[in-house]
Amino acid sequence: MDRLEELSRKKPVVAAIHGPALGGGLELALACASRIASDDRRTQLGQPEVQLGVIPGAGGTQRLPRLIGIAQALDLILTGKSVRAGKARKLGLVDEVVPKAILLDVARKRAAALAGGRPAPKRSPLVPEKLQEVALEDNPIGRRFLFHEARKSIRKKTRGHYPAPEKALEAVRIGIEEGPEAGYRAEAERFGELVVGDVARHLVEIFFATQELKKDTGVDDPSVKPARVEKIGMLGAGLMGAGIAYVSVEAGIPVRLKDRDDASLGRGLRQIAGILDERVKRKRLTFRDGEEKLALVSGTTDYSGFKSCDVVIEAVFEDLGVKQTTLKEVEREAPAVIFASNTSSIPIGRIAEAAQRPEKVVGMHFFSPVDKMPLLEVIRAKSTDAQTVATVVAIGKRIGKTVIVVNDGPGFYTSRILGPYLNEASYLILEGAAVDEIDSALVDFGFPVGPLQLLDEVGIDVGSKVAHIMQGAFGDRMRPPEGFERIAASGRLGRKAKKGFYKYEGVQKGEKTVDETVYELLPGGVRRGSIPREEIVERCVLQMVNEAAYSGAKFHDRSRSAR
């Protein structure tokens, strides 16, 4: 890179960028005398190294802040996010954005112009980014403030689990304060440390596993191809139904959305339009794209438009009888479709008992809120045929989900491993631990939310119901603590009832305050004893790990016997 930079001073090298220029690709471009990008949507620039537990290792921490300013560079390097060409132009990361067809021509001309002594066009000093740069970065006090704030925000996000962002920050700071030579050295040292560390190793493993999963068709037989899906029928326009409809139209798949009356249907359409509006406001979508996506969903209160669907997903009331009635209606109205149930707890095999064509019945377990949660659990019942599985897996990927395929059974996979974990958290409360103590211990461990907040989100009644189903299926290791039903029985159902472990009324948005009146329902009362954090973490997490091992063993056996 140094040699390239050196060469560029004598004989200008211009980077013409089309497609992703991430990590090393961007660092190579940074060493050039000028950068021209194509205006293509695929063109993206960024330093995603921290996402793999390392830092840019080829000068990114040094050249990027010098080119676009410290604050903007940190925003890219510390988060690993990437930007499109237009934004890159605003940041000064590229000098010009042109259509792909003339990219190479413009780059050649720029190189010739630079060789002739004419400099690259400068960005306007009046853009807000530039003004901030002048205010904060051109003096030592401003810079100290900047680095301090950046460190604080890293610590808040990583909770000390991920060393890379902080190391990257150090490398940037050293480069700015002690000069490029010290900076490059600092970058190399830190890169070396991180790359052989555990965190990077695991993150890289996850990365490759995810890549591998993206290629997985969900079925063993390579000759099985997913069916073409041109329209999805969505039954139920509630929170889940509308969420699934949204992710489908976002991915360009038309949806026919059905609910029992205009009011329910209207609420669902409003939810979809609301998410799209929000994305238009945040400039993730253009107004026209938003309108076009919204036009892909159409509502109905009867089954018209369902016969021509390829897949029908139901998100109706969570009750075996209701689901089976729905399945029969769909088979009558739309004989050829795949029927996917978005149940979180009812075995697919039980639903399929009512089917004329059980081979077309499958589970698609989405998580709420559907537009944000990346996981999709596809459940294969014994009767489900391979093409059905392959088809819904392909849909899952099209709508950008991480898809896992699991066998049918109580709780499938996610609820099954979550069950003992949530049970353990409940035992801890009955033993006298505080709600926030448990949640903060597990958030510190690395979960995005704690188990009790999760119960509030899912619904404490739902949690209780599932727990008993699991106990019935797996025996005593899934036994929920006695006396815990009292919480749900008192009408304290979680967020949906605005009453749970936490307060939902009279608190500011985003603030979490434990509703201490919940302790009155439990032995020990409001006075909470202290259980060591390590004990909380180990008891909860190990329950989950054990159950994962159980389920893995069982799946393994099954897949072997299937061959």
- For other proteins, the binding residues (CB under 8 A) are 230, 254, 256, 262-263, 265-267, 269-270, 273, 291-293, 295-296, 298-301, 304-305, 307-308
Half-sphere exposure of 562 (CA within 13 A, CB side): 13
Half-sphere exposure of 208 (CA within 13 A, CB side): 5
Q: Quote the least distance from Cβ 102 to other proteins, whole Å.
A: 25
Q: Which is nearer to other proteins, 305 or 347 (CB)?
A: 305
Amino acid at 46: G
Q: Quote the least distance from Cβ 386 to other proteins, whole Å.
A: 24
Q: Strands 44-46 and 20-22, how do they pair?
A: parallel
As a whole number of Å, the CA-based R_g of the chain is 27
Q: Quote the least distance from Cβ 308 to other proteins, whole Å.
A: 4
Number of residues that make up the chain: 563
Q: Which is nearer to other proteins, 293 or 539 (CB)?
A: 293
373 within 8 A of 367, measured Cβ to Cβ: yes
Give me the residue label for tokens 């000064």: 92
Q: Quote the least distance from Cβ 465 to other proteins, whole Å.
A: 32
Alpha helices, DSSP H, located in 297-434: 320-333, 348-352, 386-398, 414-430
Q: Which is nearer to other proteins, 184 or 306 (CB)?
A: 306
CA distance 264 to 241: 11
Q: Which is nearer to other proteins, 90 or 256 (CB)?
A: 256
Q: Quote the least distance from Cβ 19 to other proteins, whole Å.
A: 24
166 is catalytic: no
Q: Quote the least distance from Cβ 538 to other proteins, whole Å.
A: 49
Q: Which is nearer to other proteins, 237 or 434 (CB)?
A: 237
Q: Which is nearer to other proteins, 46 or 305 (CB)?
A: 305
Residue 340: closest CA among 195, 445, 235, 460: 235
DSSP 3-state of 48: helix
Give me 377's structure tokens.
Answer: 């659990």
Longest dimension (CA), the chain: 83
**What DSSP string describes 84-130?**
EHHHHHHHTSSSEEE-GGGHHHHHHHHHHHHHTTPPPPPPPTTSHHH
Q: Which is nearer to other proteins, 259 or 439 (CB)?
A: 259
CA 140 from chain centre, in angstroms, equals 38
Q: Quote the least distance from Cβ 26 to other proteins, whole Å.
A: 34
User: Given CA atoms 101, 107, 113, 115 in this order, what sign does their dihedral have?
Assistant: negative
Q: Quote the least distance from Cβ 312 to other proteins, whole Å.
A: 13
DSSP H or E stretch at residue 256 = strand 255-258
DSSP state of 365: E
Q: Quote the least distance from Cβ 99 to other proteins, whole Å.
A: 20
Q: Which is nearer to other proteins, 218 or 299 (CB)?
A: 299
Q: Quote the least distance from Cβ 266 to other proteins, whole Å.
A: 4
Alpha helices, DSSP H, located in 163-229: 164-178, 180-195, 198-215
Q: Residue 374, class by beta-carbon neighbours within 10 Å (0-12 exposed, 13-18 middle, 19+ buried)?
A: exposed
| Catalytic-labelled residue, pool 133, 314, 377, 424 | 377
Q: Which is nearer to other proteins, 300 or 440 (CB)?
A: 300
Bridge-partner residues for 362, per DSSP? 340
Contacts of 385 (CB under 8 A, 6+ apart): 359, 360
Q: Which long-range contacts (CB under 8 A, 24 or more apart) does 159-165 make?
A: 159/443, 159/444, 159/446, 161/199, 161/446, 162/50, 162/53, 162/199, 163/53, 163/194, 163/197, 163/199, 164/49, 164/50, 164/53, 164/54, 164/55, 164/194, 164/199, 164/200, 165/50, 165/77, 165/78, 165/79
Contacts of 381 (CB under 8 A, 6+ apart): 347, 348, 349, 352, 358, 361, 362, 363, 408
Q: Which is nearer to other proteins, 293 or 380 (CB)?
A: 293
Alpha helices, DSSP H, located in 475-532: 485-489
Catalytic residues: 377
